[in-house]
Every structure is written in structure tokens, then in C-alpha cells.
Amino acid sequence: MFQQLKQLSPDTILGVMAKFRADPAASKVDLGVGVYRDLSGNTPVLASVRRAEQEILAAQTTKSYVAAAGREEFNSAVEELVLGTAHAARRDLRARTLQTPGGCGALRVGAELIRASSPGVTVHISDPTWGNHTPLLGSSGLRLERYPYYDAAAHRLRFDAMLEHLERAAQGDVVLIHACCHNPTGADLDPAQWRALAQLLQRRRLFPFLDMAYQGFAVDLDADAAGVRFVTELMPEALVASSFSKNLGLYRERVGALIAIGENRDRADAVMSHMLQIARSIYSMPPDHGAAIAARIFADPTLKQEWLLELAAMRTRIGDMRGLLSRHLREVIGDGTFDFIGTQHGMFSLLGVSPETVARLRDQHHIHMTPDSRMNLAGIMPHNAAYVAESIAGTLSAA
């Protein structure tokens, strides 16, 4: 059976993690891995999560199945969190939500849903984008194309080129859009750009698929959802994949949701029936534990307040480290080339250097990042920011 299977080369990020582990230097810095880190280098269990979890475990009487759609109270709270309280689709009962195993589960179910309803469409993904978008969407058989998004060497968005590309997309094609804290670039659209994009989608009849994995990591829960809300208010139909891995720190519990907005209630019901069938055919039921924790936090005002403070603390720490690193870089380089690190959003920015420079930073300075020069700013600490800046400056001047 397995004779035809050749050993695959390991995933890039796993390779980066292995090299970091094997690096014996005490000064080594991990900017590679894609999780939040606190000042002690831990990815903590949030206190609000721990409290909600204890309450749930104390009250739990069964481990029986919940439902293929997951928890109702989770799904309706997520809808409100993502779309807001005044969204037309919620008012008109045109939104349907499926609890999924993480944001990845939502992206995968979304891809299968698109293929079931429109197998010939192309999904346009940003160039660059998060490495998992290609396998998650591509393995459902959909054709993928890249739209220009960011010039890493020039450290700026390629918004005009993005619009030009999408002008040429075929009617009905899907556009995958990062909702905020773009991974890997950290470069987000401003409100005017969101408006221009939404108008183009509407005029060219393209279908928006929004991926929101970092809600609350840029400004706050509402501001970070503004683009999603603008697009989904304007368009008759849309999909939104939502992940609670980062903002609740629930990574391994696999907590996410897929929100589908239909043109009317009947259409939305039909879409939901397909989402349920797809879920059944892939994993049957989503895991419950993390979603139960999330639902409890969303519903309990004290827990929610505690979570919002913890979320703000994570966001502030990353923002502080962005500021610190960009100031150190300005000092050692003598100009504002890397000021963008201080103003971009979320966990990631691209340093904008070649894979060879990334390798030199690793081999000579023990600073580890992915070959595309993506840095996880949560790996920067007050004690290593100057070292990282000096190492970058030294490596660039030697190149």
C-alpha cells in the first residue's frame, strides 16, 4: 500500500524550530515560531481561560457529543464578536455559524463549501500569505492564484497592483482577505483601502472570504473587525473564518468558527446544511472543550472583562517590542528604513531580506526566523532587542 509514498521534506517552520532547538548558544533568539510569548518566553494559559475551565470541569456531567454545528451559544457569541451587534446580516437572520476545529478547520470547510457550490472558481490569495493557506484551500481542488499584496524589499503594500489584479478576476471568483494583522507581513489595509476593495468586490461580483485569526491583536476587538464588517455589510454573500487560537491562547484546543452570510434566510439555511454535511464528512463534530471555555468567557461579564485586559496586555507587549526594535534599528542603522516594524500590526513583520541573510543571522548571531524573513515580534524581549538590532545592522552592512 505505502510503497509509492516517498518521504516528504519537513515543513519549513518545523525545520526552523528544529534548528533553534539544536542551537547551543545562550544568546539565541526565536523569532520563528508562530505563537505569542510573554516576557518570560512562555505561551501562557490566560487566567480568564483557567477560571472558565475550572468552572466548566466542576459542572460537567457528561462527555457526550454536543452537535455537528458545535455549541449554539458559542456560535452566536462569535457572530456578535465578529460581525458586531448592528450587522444587517444578523438583523435579517442571514448569517449562519459553524463551530470548527480552529481557524484551519473553518478555512478547510469554507474551501469545500466553495468547491461544492462553484467548482470552477479561482481563489485569489495574497502574495505573500500564510503558508497554510495554500494546502488548506488547494487540497480541496480549488485553483489558486496570487494577487500582489506587499513588497517585502520596499516594506510597503502593493495596493494598486492588488486592485489591478482583482479587476481582471473572473466574476464569481473568491478573494481570500486577511482581516487584520496580516500574516506574514503585518501590513493591513487602511479604512480607505478597505472601502476601495469592497467597492471593487461589489462591482466585479467577486466573493469575499475573510480570514480573521488575530482579532484584538491590532487595536481592539471592534476596530480589528471593521474591515470584515464593512465588506460583509456591502456584499450580499460572504464567508468569514475566525480563530481563537491567538486571542484566547487556546491553540491546542482548536477553537474556531466559519460564518456564512447568505443573500436571504432560505439561502443561508441551504448553505448551513452544506456546511454541516462537509463537517460530517471530514471530522464529524468539532472538539468541545475550548469552545465551552470561550463561550463561558464571552457570556460572563467578569470573565470577559478579565479576558479583554489580558488580550490588551498581549497586544501592548507586542506593540512595545515593535517600538523598541524599530527604535534600536534606527539608532544603529542611522535612518528610518525599519520604522515600519513599529507601525505594523500583529505578531509578524517581514524584515525584507534574502534567505541567505536569514541564514547568516542564524549562523553568526543565533537569531532564528523563517527563510522569508518573517519575524515573530513576540520573540523580542527588552533584553534582546538591542542585540537583534545590532545583529541585523551588522549582517546587512557585511552583505
In this complex, which beta carbon is closest to ligand PLP, that of residue 99 or of residue 183? Answer: 183
Q: How far is the CB of 241 from ligand PLP (least distance, A)?
A: 7
Q: How far is the CB of 339 from ligand PLP (least distance, A)?
A: 24
Angle, CA 95 vertex, CA 93 and CA 101 arms, to 5°: 145
Q: How far is the CB of 103 from ligand PLP (least distance, A)?
A: 3
Q: 349, 345, 340: which is closest to 319 by C-alpha? A: 345
Catalytic residue among 130, 173, 288, 372: 130
Q: Out of 48, 126, 232, 243, which residue is the one contacting ligand PLP (CB under 6 A)? A: 243
Catalytic residue among 188, 194, 246, 307: 246
Q: Out of 186, 216, 256, 319, which residue is the one contacting ligand PLP (CB under 6 A)? A: 256
Distance CA 133, CA 155 (A): 22
Q: Is 194 marked active-site?
A: no
Return the H-helix or E-strand segment holding 237.
none
Q: Looking at this protein, which amino acid is placed at residue 45?
A: V
- Residue 148 phi/psi, 5-degree rounding, is -60, 135
Q: Which stretch binds ligand PLP (CB under 6 A): 47-55, 62-70, 80-88, 243-251?
A: 243-251
Q: Out of 32, 70, 102, 342, which residue is the one contacting ligand PLP (CB under 6 A)? A: 102
Subset of 136-195 contacting ligand PLP (CB under 6 A): 178, 183
Q: How far is the CB of 5 from ligand PLP (least distance, A)?
A: 26
Q: Out of 114, 123, 177, 213, which residue is the one contacting ligand PLP (CB under 6 A)? A: 213
Distance CA 170, CA 227 (A): 23
What angle do helix axes 191-203 and 226-234 make, rounded to 10 degrees? 20
Q: Is 246 marked active-site?
A: yes
Distance CA 367, CA 387 (A): 10
Give start and end residues of each alpha helix (H) in 118-143.
Answer: 133-138
Subset of 116-145 contacting ligand PLP (CB under 6 A): 130
Q: How far is the CB of 359 from ligand PLP (least distance, A)?
A: 24
Catalytic residue among 30, 173, 188, 211: 211
Q: How far is the CB of 4 from ligand PLP (least distance, A)?
A: 30
Q: Which stretch binds ligand PLP (CB under 6 A): 98-106, 162-170, 293-301, 377-385?
A: 98-106
Return the H-helix or E-strand segment holding 179.
none
Binding status of residue 245 toward ligand PLP by CB under 6 A: yes
Q: Is 28 marked active-site?
A: no
Contact 380, 31 (CB under 8 A): yes
Subset of 360-399 contacting ligand PLP (CB under 6 A): none
Q: Is the dihedral of CA 147, 151, 157, 163 positive or negative?
A: negative
Contact 186, 352 (CB under 8 A): no
Alpha-carbon distances, residue 202 vs 161, 183, 233, 296, 316 (angstroms): 18, 25, 11, 37, 36
The residue count of the chain comes to 399
Binding status of residue 34 toward ligand PLP by CB under 6 A: yes
In this complex, which beta carbon is closest to ligand PLP, that of residue 12 or of residue 27? Answer: 12
What burial class does residue 328 get, using C-beta atoms within 10 Å of its C-beta: 0-12 exposed, 13-18 middle, 19+ buried? buried
In this complex, which beta carbon is closest to ligand PLP, that of residue 157 or of residue 385? Answer: 157
Q: Out of 104, 152, 257, 381, which residue is the one contacting ligand PLP (CB under 6 A)? A: 104
In this complex, which beta carbon is closest to ligand PLP, that of residue 294 or of residue 396? Answer: 294
Binding status of residue 82 toward ligand PLP by CB under 6 A: no
Q: How far is the CB of 319 from ligand PLP (least distance, A)?
A: 18
Give start and end residues of each alpha helix (H) in 31-155.
Answer: 47-59, 72-83, 88-91, 102-117, 133-138
Residues identified as active-site:
130, 211, 246
Q: Contact residues for ligand PLP (CB under 6 A)?
A: 34, 102-104, 130, 178, 183, 211, 213, 243, 245, 251, 256
